[in-house]
Amino acid sequence: MSKKNEKNVISTTKPEMTLGGRITQLRIDGGYDSYDLSKQLGVKLETYESWELDRSEPRINKLVALAAILGVSPTYLLAEEGHKGISKAKKTSGHNIKVITLQQKVLFLEAQLKENLKQLKKISRDINNL
């Protein structure tokens, strides 16, 4: 009678990690310090720590920057889908740090462009409705 009934199992997959859990795990795996990450992102340590504890979420520009620093896609941070990162050895290379910084800028600009495009479409619709 102690045998488990497999039909009562809701899911056999591992439980999904939260955004804060993914941020924490990637920070630890990458050998980063939360204080250093907060400084790189231009936020207070308390703000950064609240992200890891799931008390708040980063704004899109900070999420994109954090993803670039950690070497993953913003989609991976949000939903564990997309680019999962680069190897730890590559993260320490000075050349690759420059590449990550440039990737961060590109991702940030892409996010801004996407938001601006949404606003342009809305304004265009408003004009057409006049």
Q: State the chain's maximal CA–CA distance in angstroms.
A: 72
Query: For the chain, which domains are there?
Result: 13-128 (1.10.260.40)
Tens digit of each residue's pLDDT (9 = 90 or more) over 51-70: 999 999 999 989 988 988 88
Q: What angle do CA 80, 82, 88 make, to 5 degrees?
A: 85
Burial zone of 117 (CB within 10 Å; 0-12 exposed, 13-18 middle, 19+ buried): exposed
Entry pTM: 0.55
Both tokens assigned to 82: 């997309």
Tens digit of each residue's pLDDT (9 = 90 or more) over 89-125: 444 445 556 666 676 677 777 778 888 888 999 999 9
